[in-house]
């Protein structure tokens, strides 16, 4: 196979060491190899960068495993064409596996152009990505803490979840603190309810009439304190996300025009795909990268049905959530499309299909810098009037009516 790159390097990255192999030589000639090992401290990575520059390396490849590649990528960024490949796509044949062999194999793949580079966003987008993903982790931790709190209340016979729509709202938190103190009567705790919840004072009094043991009150106080800390952390992270989104204010404003997309959803989309759509080429490639299109599985000329392919789980979850919210926007094309697909394939598959449409729209909007143009709830009916009319006539015929269609006279 003909070599495409004359000066290539492969890095086998570990937590405490980096094995680098440099291959030098023009196509058609026997190349020379040189292997060195470096540490992963900042000074070691600076020495790795200086050595690669001394050798005149132009392309550097490494596997994107864990987080160990990230400081190496940051140390080499700007000086070389960096290729972070999928580890499963770069596996060598089994046998005789060493760190030196792995580095040589990666360098050989890079030299022949056989490594498909993974998408690594620019530094400012990477900052936003870390903040958005940390917020997602905090939200998950808060949900788990709330579930533990509800489980504790149920075990003590306190049935607040059956009376209140949100146990952790303003009224609910006041009652939880009173329960943790253990000094107020059920009626007094129910009287802490605010606004419309005061119409349920009798039911709240019955729901609060349980028995919290001493250790359960102790655990409840721990849950309350942890929830308050998570709430403060979440507010600080969201403020940091807002600051990191300032360079992308124009793109965020465009994405906010999509039904179901709010400020945090727009930030999550930009954090995962960036704002330069040239990195993906087409909307179809972006959808495949996100895991929002069916996987291909063909054997012996037969195409077998498969679910969606693996992709970016953070982006996929964000878009599916936006699709569910967009399906609740009255008078929108996304709502009409979701309702039609849900009747045929179920709500979950319909949400994934609508998420695909949102991603394709976001790609076009970011590429062309245009706002979202809603097609309207009647778009699919207008596309094929004959099919829509035939379906409605068939339904009326089943109800026992004779229908004769006549076009309206032009106004």
Q: Are 143 and 118 in contact (CB under 8 A)?
A: no
Total structural domains within the chain: 3
CATH number at residue 65: 3.30.420.10
Question: Which sign does the torsion angle of CA 361, 364, 367, 369 carry?
Answer: negative
Chain-centroid distance, C-alpha 161 = 30
Cα separation, 116 vs 114, in Å, equals 7
Chain-centroid distance, C-alpha 13 = 26
Angle CA 354–355–359, to nearest 5: 120
Q: What pLDDT does 379 receive? A: 85
Q: What pLDDT does 183 receive? A: 86
Asked if 95 and 183 sit in the same domain, the reply is no
Q: What pLDDT does 306 receive? A: 67
Place of tokens 């970016």: 312
DSSP 206-265: HHT-----HHHHHHHHHHHHHHHHHHHHHHHHHHHHHHHTGGGHHHHHHHTTSTT--HHH
Domain endpoint, select from 186, 214, 244: 244
Please give the span between the terminal C-alpha atoms of the chain, in angstroms, as a whole number. Answer: 70
In this structure, is residue 267 part of a structural domain?
Answer: yes
Phi, psi (rounded to 5 degrees) for 246: -60, -40
Asked if 356 and 258 sit in the same domain, the reply is yes
Cα separation, 4 vs 166, in Å, equals 61
Cα separation, 388 vs 396, in Å, equals 13
Nearest to 244 by CA among 120, 136, 132: 132
Domain endpoint, select from 69, 87, 111: 111
Output the pTM of the full model. 0.86
Asked if 131 and 230 sit in the same domain, the reply is yes
Q: Are 406 and 399 in contact (CB under 8 A)?
A: no
In this structure, is residue 407 part of a structural domain?
Answer: no
Nearest to 326 by CA among 336, 317, 334: 334
Asked if 237 and 263 sit in the same domain, the reply is no
Asked if 228 and 307 sit in the same domain, the reply is no
Beta-sheet strand order (sheet of 32-38):
32-38, 18-24, 7-13, 59-63, 81-85
In this structure, is residue 181 part of a structural domain?
Answer: yes
Nearest to 62 by CA among 76, 51, 50: 76
Burial of 66 (0-12, 13-18, 19+ CB in 10 A): exposed
In this structure, is residue 386 part of a structural domain?
Answer: no
DSSP 85-122: E-GGGSPPPSSS--HHHHHHHHHHHHHTT--PBPP---
Supply the range of the domain harboring residue 314.
Answer: 248-368
Q: What pLDDT does 274 receive? A: 94
Asked if 144 and 222 sit in the same domain, the reply is yes
Asked if 252 and 288 sit in the same domain, the reply is yes
- Low-confidence residues in the chain, pLDDT < 50: none
Asked if 97 and 199 sit in the same domain, the reply is no
In this structure, is residue 384 part of a structural domain?
Answer: no
Asked if 62 and 107 sit in the same domain, the reply is yes
Phi, psi (rounded to 5 degrees) for 357: -65, -40
In this structure, is residue 398 part of a structural domain?
Answer: no
In this structure, is residue 66 part of a structural domain?
Answer: yes
Domain endpoint, select from 244, 273, 289: 244
Asked if 231 and 254 sit in the same domain, the reply is no
In this structure, is residue 393 part of a structural domain?
Answer: no
Asked if 152 and 56 sit in the same domain, the reply is no
Asked if 51 and 99 sit in the same domain, the reply is yes
């Amino acid at each position: 196979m003909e070599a495409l790159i004359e000066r290539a390097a492969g890095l086998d990255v570990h937590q405490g060491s980096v094995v680098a192999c440099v291959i030098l030589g023009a196509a058609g000639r026997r190349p020379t190899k040189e292997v060195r090992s470096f540490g992963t401290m900042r000074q070691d990575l600076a020495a790795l960068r200086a050595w690669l520059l001394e050798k005149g390396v132009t392309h550097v490849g490494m596997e994107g495993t864990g987080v160990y590649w990230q400081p190496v990528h940051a140390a080499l960024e700007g000086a070389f064409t960096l290729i972070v490949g999928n580890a499963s796509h770069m596996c060598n044949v089994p046998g005789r596996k060493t760190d030196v062999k792995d580095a040589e194999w990666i360098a050989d793949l890079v030299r022949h152009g056989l490594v498909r580079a993974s998408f690594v966003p620019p530094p400012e987008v990477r900052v936003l990505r870390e903040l958005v993903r940390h917020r997602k982790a905090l939200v998950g931790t808060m949900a788990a803490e709330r579930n533990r709190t509800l489980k504790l209340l149920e075990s003590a016979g306190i049935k607040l979840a059956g009376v209140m729509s949100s146990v952790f709202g303003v009224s609910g938190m006041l009652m939880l603190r009173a329960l943790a103190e253990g000094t107020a009567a059920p009626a007094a705790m129910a009287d802490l309810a605010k606004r419309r919840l005061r119409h349920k004072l009798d039911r709240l009094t019955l729901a609060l009439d349980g028995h919290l043991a001493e250790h359960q009150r102790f655990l409840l106080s721990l849950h309350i304190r942890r929830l308050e800390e998570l709430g403060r952390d979440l507010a600080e992270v969201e403020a940091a996300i807002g600051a990191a989104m300032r360079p992308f204010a124009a793109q965020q404003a465009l994405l906010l025009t999509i039904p179901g997309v709010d400020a945090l959803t727009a930030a999550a989309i930009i954090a995962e795909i960036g704002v330069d759509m040239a990195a993906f080429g087409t909307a179809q490639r972006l959808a495949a990268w996100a895991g929002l299109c069916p996987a291909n599985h063909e054997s012996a000329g037969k195409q077998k049905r498969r679910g969606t392919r693996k992709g970016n789980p953070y982006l996929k979850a964000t878009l599916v959530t936006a699709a569910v919210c967009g399906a609740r926007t009255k008078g929108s094309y996304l709502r009409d499309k979701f309702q039609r697909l849900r009747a045929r394939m179920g709500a979950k598959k319909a949400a994934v299909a609508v998420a695909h449409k949102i991603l394709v729209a976001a790609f076009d909007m970011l590429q062309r810098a245009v706002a979202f143009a809603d097609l309207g709830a009647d778009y699919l009916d207008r596309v094929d009037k004959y099919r829509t009319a035939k379906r409605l006539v068939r339904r009326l015929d089943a109800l026992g009516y004779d229908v004769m269609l006549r076009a309206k006279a032009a106004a």
